[in-house]
Structure 1
């Protein structure tokens, strides 16, 4: 445990609540902030997040703070857990209240909508020189909050900060590894959401386990090729941040992105499917940014491209499947794993 460090967790949804509860159980002084003051008050009174984690009892040590300035006062560690579309605005909001020695981390997965920029780029732009880290990996909030075995990885250019954040989260049932490939870790956490829609669609259409395995494997290929083009390390994407998160999200029905794919595969309209899920579905925005990055680096990513077309209503799931299956026969790796044409 990192002693005498106070953690402010910003975002009281399912994942923010789960991580705050984990840290508090680790005896780390932890404050949980959210925009809904009434919801925070109810959480304090009932020790339950009734909307997102109604079956999980929250630790008595966790402090609920509806005032952003108060949440950040004296906090040496900040963990942002908001949807990617709100990430830039929360950085702007916290700037006046950050302690001079506060270090920033985030468990948000995705890109800045409209630009395709990675979240670490936004942090570096607004807080140049300040230590920053991303927390990512295969981890459903409900299972983490319930104390079920899980593993994540913390990546930072500052090795000491990656180590400290990992220690804050590390627990008997929660392994936290560390690394220094921030871009690779972020890419894996974002891109797996797009690929999970593809496997969800296939399962919704009852295409079988062979199709699911093929989509996961070829989706991993797309993730690796885009990652290498961007400068990510292949081993990062073959670890918890990439392959681990991809397998979980593509196969676990707690995944919002998989559930979106399931609904689309069963014939539901996207607006109806998102409304029924009731939470932010990151793949809807992320698919556009993956397409933008692929075009920039002249990469052919047929699964990711097909998901984007389905999400925009340009093709039906059945038409998207036909497009994938009608591609020409070729070697699996014509010029090696990381060739743009692989």
Structure 2
């Protein structure tokens, strides 16, 4: 409506979405059985620790390309089944559906007719074998997840269904799905192996296109599916940083050092040096390349003379330091000296 375009001129809808966030709903009523559990939620950290203690992390990484961490969907789904009254019985009876945000949106837009996801999102669940591109029964058994509640896995470019008149009584094709970071990789035209992008948003996510080769990381990065188009699967190395722009929000909303996020640059530049002040914004643990679920945020080097400007500078520098950590790990894994980094915001 804002663009002044009528629905009969819309050729199709593409969906890009926050990944890993977990939704479980009753397939008959359409009502979620629990609130969506977002990617930053750490409630399953203890279960992940147990999987690692049992020696299962190497198997999980070999199949999924992922580290064993509460970040991913599978352990969140298990938590819902274990902790919501009646959820497991309903799931085993085939009455519940699971999906990441893309799956939920498609299901709603099609009036409950289509239950699908694409490979880029499925590869973030801890339940997909990224080599066979299918849900993995060994992983489902490990997480005690009934296969019947999982969406059908589709390519990233395909007509999945139509909007079933839920948008201005028009049947608009839903013709593309990709997780937000994979979408950014494609949008930055990183379509050849070795090309890299970094997205700065709440967190910070660096991806390198590795073509049709799933590069196993020796430096605590993730091996993930970038997309599947024209029956060709392409892969990526990813460094996931949990807190980037969110540190600016924290300074504004919690410490109230800033009135607006935009003030931080001018405030930080007042500090000509960092005076030994360093910020570790581990508000949700640390992601790549450290993967410490239990790390917590810290500011080091504080003195009586530490100013707001120094804290603002340290906050911005923390984003740069984390980015460099991931970039160096990516160079080590790929054997490529990264000369160009395409960047965007989210």
For the criterion TM > 0.5, the same-fold answer is: no
Relative to the length of structure 2, the TM-score reads 0.30
Larger Rg: 2
Structure with greater strand share of residues: 2
Which structure would you say has the larger RCO, counting Cα contacts within 8 Å and 6 or more residues apart? 2
TM-score normalised by length of structure 1: 0.31
